[in-house]
Chain A
Amino acid sequence: MTTPHWLSAAEIAKAFAAKTLSPVELVTALLARIEALDPKLNAFIRLDAEGALLAAAQAEKELAAGRSRGPLHGIPVGIKDIIDVAGLPTTAHSKILVDNIAEADAPVIQKLRQAGAVIMGKLSTHEFAIGGPSFDLPFAPARNPWNRDHHPGGSSSGSGAGVAAGLFPLALGTDTGGSVRNPASACGIVGLKPTYGLVSRRGVFPLSFTLDHVGPLTRTVADNALLLDAIAGYDPADPGSAATTSRQFGRLLDRGVRDLRIGFIRHFHERDLPAHPEVAAALEDVARVLQAEGAQVRSVTLPTLPEFAGINRVILCSEAWSIHAPWLRERPGDYGKLARRRLLPGAFMTAGDYVGAQRRRAEVIAAVEDRLREYDVLLCASSMDPASRLDDPDETARTYPRQARTPFNVTGHPALAMMSGLSRSGLPLSVQFAGRYFDEATVLRVAAAYERATAWHKKKPPTG
């Protein structure tokens, strides 16, 4: 059998059913791997070994009694440290909240526990999901398993690094300007930002009310669908939650892409923010692969990336200022420099800036909706460059905004990033697929077809 740490959730469930692996054996093996590797990766802020072993023992007892809670029964999951897990700190990787213990599970954690999942602990993030990678915070930044000198992406840094390194098969992250899809891109895994409102944000420390999403990070597309099935659902106490019963997101995974219409937004990486040549070449390869699988791929245009980014920035900064203003006024020195610099602009934005951005937002949403009437899925870049070095803040500052993820935070459409190759320097390259509201199943269908055709997901970082 494959070593337990590289098994997908689907493979783990089969191993449990065949009694070749038990939840306690799996968690014990992962804890040993975490002990060996995490001091070099910093994926965890708080490992909950005791809680994980207790949950695994409970899962094992239930399986022995013939009671399975479903496909996530006994499966380990890591949680970004802005999501509340009862009894554990939610620090948001910040001195501001370093003593903040969550009183209750966020609804997404409640759903994971009901599904039998094992919570492994809390994972590194950029400070408050915006300020990083930083070395002036209470916890070290996560590192990229493909090359520890490089950034693992963010802000869900520990989620990306931990899944890619085989510390756990599944993780939750959050995405306000691309923070699930960026670590997925940098670490060579699968990250999905669901439709706005599909997954409850209650119990998640907010960054920007109308842009925040919770999403799954996994090593395979099928696992991504399984994790989304577990966490999706209407939450009447989340004002942004959608009253939808969408489920079974993996129901189309085996259907292939024959006759699907795919719109390729080339201008994002050719004109708006010209991509690194290896990224651009890999994107053309993606289009060729999907055409060879039977899809119709045509170039399409949308508003420019700088405009999407501008809308995202004004809305994010304005909404984040309304959240952070009291601390920025009284405790500015308790933020790291990057978070302080990225949160303070909201103090200088006007009501006119904010309302103007929200009015333009309605128009760019309409533009994406128009394209999605003609096309089933949109294909575009995720990151324009391979991950930067962690010790090169200028290069990180240059490359971090060079991305095409913010459009789908602004519009709320589902968008998935996954590996599309390896650079000559051995770092993952990435592609992004976006789809219609609540049609995650078709986005995952295209991703699964690409995964089957290329098998990039079988490449593993040199962590052993």
Chain B
Amino acid sequence: MDPVIAALARAAGLDKALAAFPDDVKAAAEQALNNAGVITVPTDPAAEPWPPMRPGTGL
């Protein structure tokens, strides 16, 4: 197990999963890390996320 993945898992509170299902934790971490580069994040600093904040509705 990559020590960085193990440390991240423990930081997320996944000690039990790490002990019982280390392969699942490793696969999950690799899947999350493999997302980097798939999405073209906007370069415009003012591009806001969806959905936008809507004060006064639904609250």
Contacts and interface: CB of A to CB of B under 8 A. Distances in A.
Contacts of A314: 35, 39
B14 A347 contact: yes
Interface in B4-54: 5, 8-9, 12-17, 20-21, 24-25, 27-29, 31-33, 35-36, 38-42, 47-51
B32 A358 contact: no
B35 A340 contact: no
Q: Which size class do B's interface residues fall under?
A: 20 to 34
B41 A345 contact: no
Contacts, number: 105
A348 B12 contact: yes
Interface stretch (A38-46, A106-114, A262-270, A359-367): A359-367
B24 A311 contact: no
Nearest to B28: A344
A345 B27 CA distance: 8
9 contacts: A210-B50, A330-B16, A341-B24, A344-B29, A345-B29, A357-B39, A359-B47, A362-B47, A362-B49
Given A360-B40, A360-B42, A355 B49 contact: yes
A79 B58 CA distance: 27
A301 to B, nearest CB: 15
A317 B32 contact: yes
Contacts of A348: 5, 8-9, 12, 28-29, 32-33
Nearest to A239: B58
B49 A344 contact: no
B13 A325 contact: yes
Interface in A227-267: 239-241
A359 B42 contact: yes
A348 B32 CA distance: 6
A307 interface: yes
Nearest to B52: A362
B15 to A, nearest CB: 8
- Chain B CB within 10 Å, residue with most, of A314, A332, A349, A358: A332
Majority-rule SS of B interface residues: loop
Q: By CB atoms of chain A within 10 A, which of B15, B24, B33 has the most? A: B24
A344 B16 CA distance: 13
Given A344-B28, A358-B51, A363-B47, 20 more contacts: A210-B50, A306-B38, A307-B38, A311-B39, A329-B12, A329-B13, A341-B28, A344-B27, A344-B29, A345-B31, A347-B29, A348-B29, A353-B32, A353-B36, A357-B39, A359-B47, A359-B49, A360-B39, A362-B42, A363-B42
**5 nearest interchain CB pairs?**
A344-B28, A358-B49, A310-B38, A348-B32, A332-B17
Interface residues of A, number: 38
A333 interface: yes
B39 A356 contact: yes
Contact of A359 (B13, B27, B31, B48): B48
A348 B39 CA distance: 17
Contacts of A311: 39
Contacts of B14: 328-329, 332, 344, 347
Contacts of A317: 32
A310 B39 contact: yes
A235 to B, nearest CB: 10
B50 A365 contact: yes
A122 interface: no
B48 A362 contact: yes
A329 B38 contact: no
A313 interface: yes
A408 to B, nearest CB: 14
A205 to B, nearest CB: 20
